[in-house]
Amino acid sequence: MLNRSFTNREKVLLLIFVVLALGLFYYFVAFRGFKEQMRLYDTTELQYQIDTETIRATKQKQMEDYIDKHKGETIGTVEKYNNLSQEVSVLGDILDGKVTDITINWSEPVASGNTVRRIAGISFTAPNYTVASSVVDAIHNCQYRCVIGDLDLSSPEGNMSSSKVSVSMSVTFFETIDGVENTPGLIIDTPNEDTSSSEESTTPN
């Protein structure tokens, strides 16, 4: 059996090798495992998302409560059909210069009895919650009778008080065909007689 002592140079190299091996073992097994566990248990991002959603929900609830509180109030006039151009104009006056990324999609007007409902799907981006709230309030209190629904607020930066707020909602404008003879483009909503008959036939005697 070969029996020889290591030279000082060999001892130094062997010591360096052992230190490197221990370092690599610590990095791949201990340190990386520790970092991974820290990443899994780091709830900072999760808490931020929860706080952001809580703020968004609170602000939206405040705006919805305001609209519901004043929903029964008689605000604005019910104009005769077709008042579309004036409704477009009043929305333009409210939105232009205050918000950006404005999109308005109009549905076909529908008449039930003498009442016409025309729904506008509106979305825009406001510089902050205060501006968003004032715009929604201005639409709600505009000169033409309307009702706001499907309100949704969101802010990619989380802080609605100082960051941009995206708003989407539906606005139903009311008009009347009372005294109007010409109603082009108007959909007449008639009761479904077949459904009524079917319901009557299934009613127990």
Q: For 110-131, what is the HEC assignment?
A: EEECCEEEEEEEEEEEECCHHH
Q: Spell out the per-residue pLDDT of the chain, length 205, in tens.
A: 456 666 777 777 777 877 787 777 766 666 666 666 666 555 666 655 656 666 666 766 766 676 666 666 668 899 999 999 999 999 999 999 999 999 999 999 999 999 999 999 999 999 998 999 899 999 999 999 999 988 888 887 766 667 899 999 999 999 999 999 899 999 988 766 554 444 443 344 4
- Whole-prediction pTM: 0.65
In a domain, 37, yes or no: no
Residue 159 in any domain: the answer is: yes
- Tell me if 33 is assigned to some domain: no
Task: Give the whole-angstrom CA distance, residue 109 versus residue 195.
Answer: 23
Where residue 80 sits, what CATH number does that domain have?
Answer: 3.30.70.60
Residue 199 in any domain: the answer is: no
Distance, in Å, from the CA atom of 184 to the CA atom of 116, rounded to the nearest integer, reads: 13
Give the Cα-Cα-Cα angle 88, 89, 93 (nearest 5 degrees).
120
Q: Which domain holds residue 83?
A: 52-188
3-state helix, strand, coil in the chain (%, to 5): 45, 25, 30
Domain contains 24? no
**How many helices (H) and strands (E) are present in the chain, helices listed first?**
6, 7
16 found inside a domain:
no
43 located within any domain = no
Q: Tokens in use for 62? A: 């405040």
CA distances (Å), origin 166, targets 98, 99, 174: 13, 10, 26
Give the span between the Cα atoms of 150 and 144, in whole angstroms: 19
Q: How many domains does the chain have?
A: 1
Residue 14 covered by a domain: no
How far is it, in rounded angstroms, from Cα 190 to Cα 126? Answer: 40
Angle between helix 129-140 and helix 44-69 axes, rounded to 10 deg: 20
